[in-house]
Structure 1
């Protein structure tokens, strides 16, 4: 499994976890916010990876 696939699996896991935690503890609970921040970082990383990959294809 490549790095992008692993990253996508982690993103999907965190999305599900964030939803569960937010429904149980509230959207502004410290745990929900922490998961959301980690998810944001991973989504930014994934977008950066896609952008880099697309630039290499153009060259």
Structure 2
């Protein structure tokens, strides 16, 4: 499995986890925000990888 596929898997995992936690603890809970920030970081990384491949 290539790095891009692993990155996409991690992004999908965090999306699901963030949804679960946000529904359970609230969208503004510290845990939801931390996951959201990590997800943002990974999405930016993914976009950078895709741009560099063009």
TM tier relative to shorter chain:
over 0.9
Structure 1 partner of 2:33: 33
- What value does the CA root-mean-square deviation take over the aligned residues? 0.2
Rg bigger for which structure?
Answer: 1
The TM-score, its normalising length taken from structure 1, stands at 0.91
Q: 1:36: how far off?
A: 0.1
Cα deviation, residue 44, structure 1: 0.1
Report how many residues are paired.
54
What stretches of structure 1 move > 6 A for 4+ residues in a row? none
Give the TM-score of the pair, scaled to structure 2.
1.00
1:4 maps to: 4
**Unmatched runs of 5 consecutive residues or more in structure 1:** 55-59
